[in-house]
Structures are given as C-alpha cells and as structure tokens.
A = this chain, B = another copy of it.
Amino acid sequence: MTFVNYFFRYFTISLLFVVSQANAQDTKPYKYPQSDIITIHSKVLNEDRKIYIHYPKPDSTNLDQRFPVLYLMDGENHFELLAQYADYLSRPDVLAIPKMIIVGIPNTERRRDLTPTASITDYSGKPDSSNLTKPSGGNENFLKFITTELIPAIDKGYKTKPYKILAGHSFGGLSSINCMLTHPDMFDAYIAVSPSFWWDNKYLLKLADKKLEKGSPLNKMLFYSDGNEGGSSSFFHLDLLTFDSLISNKNLTGLNYMYKHYPTETHMTEPIIAYFEALRFIFKE
C-alpha cells in the first residue's frame, strides 16, 4: 500500500465515523477531567503496580505552577471521590483548598501491604487459623515502595510541590498512623479514616504510646475519625477514643489534629464525609 492509498483509506474511515456519530441522536461521551494510569515496576515489592494520578488542568497563564500531592491507599475505592473533591473544592468560586494532585494506589495484596505486623489474630484478639495462609505485616516494605519508588516517579512525571499527604481508610488508616509513628517525616499530613486499631491485639495503640514522647515535637497535621462500627461501646469506637486521649495527653508540640466521630455513618459511607472534612481541616488556613 502506498502512502497515498493509505491516506485515502484513513480519510474514508474517518468520514464514515463522523457520519455514524451524527446519526446516533447526538449522544457523545461526557468528558471527565483527565487522570492517568501509570505502571511502575517495584523492585521493593517485586511486582508491577498500577497507579492512578489525577492532576489539575494545565493553566496556560501559569505553566510553572506546582501542586501538593495526596497519596491515597485503597485507590480502587476512593480515588474518584478524592479526585472530585480536589477539583471541586479548588474551583475559583469555592476556593476551600488549593489545586492538588491525587495519587491513588490500588491494592494487589491489601492485607500484606497495609498491616504493620504479621498476625493471625482477629478483631477480638483471638487467633484465627483461617488467617494462617494470608500474608500480613508488609507495611514497612510498602512504605519503602512509596518513599523510594512511587514518590520519585510522581515527582519526576508531575508538577509536584514538596507538601505531601498520606490518606487511608480502615487498614489504610492503620498504615497512615503507622507511617506517622515510624517515618513521621515522609509526609506533612496524615489522614486515618476508621483506622483498624484492633489489628494484632492493638499493636499500633501500644506503638503510639511508646513512640510519642510527651511534649516532643511533631509538626504535622493529623485527622482521624470513626463511624458507627457497632455502636458507641464497640471496640472500634473505644479504640479511637483511646487513641484520641493518648494524642491529647502526649501534648506534642506543633501537632495540629482533629478527631471526628460520625455516629450516623457506616464503615463504608464514612469516607465520603471524612475525606471531605479532612481536606477542609488540613487546608483551613
């Protein structure tokens, strides 16, 4: 086929396509603001990881503008929600938060990546042999992936500012608190929506008590919350209250924190309101 033949073939196909679209009662796909999927081969995790990235529309009058980044665990659950909040809340007629980049990390092995210790105990603290075959305790490695592979890739490919937020729900909330305790300098702000403090006989509540020295500096923003996860005397709510008094009693200098309890929300509806209020809180100034 010569180039010229190729051209005519291409041109004819294009023409047909235009005509058939016009017949279809003028139905067109709605265009959402652009987001990317990139694939990173992680040496740390020894696997490929898909990553979702939502970023502000390029502003031709300000092409050098750079943006804070929110890293979101359970990307398959809440990436679109956070992308929507980032867009809407930074609109010129809303201006509740700055324009920002949302990086969603969907799971491959959620329990392996988002728990701080290897454990087979269930939420009541009893061993559960059905957990014997489920890997856990890889959160340190997962955070290493974020800091040595993911963040550099995002900083290379997108117009990032240094300001970074880590956000997660349930096991993701556990990971967010674990990161703040073990690598506080990785992020500037931490969001933990209904963190699963029950994990491994309340391992993280004990770690928090050990790691956070009374009156020591922790110049971070921290938002944590719970919903109605079994009522006001449930282990879930009691664990959050324990964490909240621990944070309050430690009197950490520079820590700006907010605890919200949502008694009318379930474990799964809570992220809608909690992520909204967390963003409002972190960018309140």
Contacts and interface: CB of A to CB of B under 8 A. Distances in A.
A234 interface: no
A35 interface: yes
B35 A29 contact: yes
Contacts of A272: 85, 88-89, 276
A29 B37 contact: yes
Contacts of A94: 266, 268-269
Contact of A54 (B11, B30, B96): B30
Interface string A67-104: 00000000000011100110111010110100000000
A29 B36 CA distance: 5
Nearest to A78: B88
Which range contains the number of A residues in contact with the other chain?
35 or more
A25 B37 contact: no
A63 interface: no
A82 to B, nearest CB: 10
B34 A29 contact: yes
Contact of A84 (B4, B7, B81, B266): B81
A93 B268 contact: yes
Contacts of A273: 273, 276
Interface string A200-211: 000000000000
16 contacts: A3-B4, A4-B7, A24-B157, A25-B40, A26-B39, A28-B37, A28-B38, A29-B35, A30-B34, A30-B53, A30-B54, A32-B32, A80-B84, A85-B272, A88-B272, A272-B276
Interface of A: 3-4, 7-8, 11, 24-30, 32, 34-40, 52-54, 79-81, 84-85, 87-89, 91, 93-94, 96, 153, 157, 264, 266, 268-269, 272-273, 276, 280
